[in-house]
Amino acid sequence: MNVKPHMAGVLFSGGQDSATCLAWALERFDQVETIGFTYGQRHDVEMACRLTVRNKIAETFPQWRSKLGDDHIIDLSGLGQISETSLTRDIEIEVHETGLPTTFVPGRNLIFLNFAAALGWRRGFSDLVAGMCEADFSGYPDCRKETLDAQMKAISLGLDWSFELHTPLMHLSKAGAWHLAEELGGAGLVEIIRHDSHTCYMGERGREHDWGYGCGSCPACELRAKGWESYANGL
Ligand code: ZN
């Protein structure tokens, strides 16, 4: 009997969460491809970091190397044109009158998933993997499981093709995400993610902290530093 290989597409930005998801997918699926998006981010360091993380994971883990397939970059610069956010414009990071931080790019994850699914339809993905997280996060409504379930239903109907969406970090804290990385790839993977993944909203990679590079004061750095501290203290 022919069993179709399970081929997963990972939404991969080069941040801590998506780097962990990439390892998670490589552990589970026969073939894994990565998908990145450019949407007019103010800083392009993430795009450079994502290649470093991919390459180091392939170099360090021979059991995963043969499963790691193509990298796809999708240009969504139109999203940057219609988004007035701190990630795409020179705007202070603060809480907007809607109650959401100004780092919220409206609809970003919804748009990413649609494009990933369209690509997946062409590539024959059976699964999609993404790092959305409900817990310990900035309250982005497009990271909620309910949002993603509804969207995946629309995608399956609209493409007449069913993908399973996996969000292994959905209910994990940031410390929990470090523990998951350790379970998957031991200290070697933790070190790749700590040193080479990029999360800082300010695009800062000048100074290295215990928890990796970043400005140390934007909300993404604060969350990452706090998660690392809990993880390093065995919490
Ligand atoms: Zn920062």
pTM value?
Answer: 0.89
Q: What is the pLDDT of residues 99-114, one digit of tens each?
A: 666 566 677 888 999 9
More confident residue, 135 or 148: 148
- pLDDT over 70 (residue 4): no
* Total number of domains constituting the chain: 1
Q: What percent of the chain has pLDDT over 90?
A: 61
Range of the domain at 180: 7-197
Answer yes or no: are the C-beta atoms of 21 and 129 closer than 8 Å.
Answer: yes
The CA distance from 85 to 76, in Å, is 15
**Amino acid identity of 28?**
R
Average pLDDT, stretch 153-161? 93
Taking the centre of ligand 1 as the mean of its atom positions, its distance from the CA of residue 127, in whole angstroms, is 32
First-to-last alpha carbon distance for the chain, in angstroms, is 46
Assess if residue 170 is contained within a domain: yes
- pLDDT over 70 (residue 128): yes
Average pLDDT, stretch 141-154? 87
Taking the centre of ligand 1 as the mean of its atom positions, its distance from the CA of residue 147, in whole angstroms, is 27
- pLDDT over 90 (residue 187): yes
Q: What is the CATH number of the domain that holds 193?
A: 3.40.50.620
Assess if residue 205 is contained within a domain: no
Q: What is the pLDDT of residues 37-64, one digit of tens each?
A: 988 776 678 888 999 999 999 999 999 9
58 φ/ψ angles, rounded to the nearest 5 degrees: -65, -40
More confident residue, 12 or 143: 12
Which of 8-12, 100-104, 227-231 is the least confident region? 100-104
Taking the centre of ligand 1 as the mean of its atom positions, its distance from the CA of residue 152, in whole angstroms, is 32
Q: Provide the pLDDT for residue 107.
A: 79
Taking the centre of ligand 1 as the mean of its atom positions, its distance from the CA of residue 2, in whole angstroms, is 48
Dihedral sign for Cα 203, 205, 206, 207, please. positive
Taking the centre of ligand 1 as the mean of its atom positions, its distance from the CA of residue 190, in whole angstroms, is 19
Longest dimension (CA), the chain: 58
